[in-house]
Chains A and B, each alone.
Chain A
């Protein structure tokens, strides 16, 4: 059974650019969440999607956005990149209540 797939694994961007990260959840999982992980802040919640609708949003600026497609695949976009956006971005999927989240391998974003 395939796990959560995130692409790309590594990304280097310059300040001011934008980036799009992709996530394919486990087959049958309709709930997808995104987290940012940094050494200083730990794991911070970005957003949760279910059935193409954003259900929850964390405390991040509007430069961070996301969407979910009808096949449950999800993308997140960060515009006008800042140095502080350098982090590991993790996507996780779940079958719902009573089941935990399974994380993908993450996308390591470096902003220079």
Chain B
């Protein structure tokens, strides 16, 4: 059973702060890692993808991957109330030409208060 675990939260941070979201996975063969944001009543939206160890930055978002520790994180700098959502970590281990199956964590609910 391939497990993806996330801090259950909820996580509450003030506006302007850094929000840190964490995820661990059990399958050492995992190749691709994604963070999705899901607003209440909406579908998941891809915000970050990372494939190799280290940091990847995109605007206010930074994804960090450590395959040795089987750990992936998402940092949101200068958090805004509009960042309030559930953040889903997803992991993939398919080595074929298609992306294959994603294994999702249960999500961390983030609230950014003004």
Contacts and interface: CB of A to CB of B under 8 A. Distances in A.
A104 B45 CA distance: 9
Interface range, B side: 20 to 34
Interface stretch (B9-17, B69-77, B98-106): B98-106
Contacts of B62: none
A94 B98 CA distance: 8
A90 B44 CA distance: 9
Interface of B: 32, 34, 36, 42-46, 49, 51, 88, 94, 96-107
A25 interface: no
Nearest to B48: A100
Q: Is the interface of A mostly helix, strand, loop or mixed?
A: strand
Q: Is the interface of B mostly helix, strand, loop or mixed?
A: loop
Nearest to B104: A43
Given A42-B107, A103-B43, A103-B45, A97 B101 contact: no
B88 A43 contact: yes
A80 B72 CA distance: 40
A106 interface: yes
Contacts of B103: 45
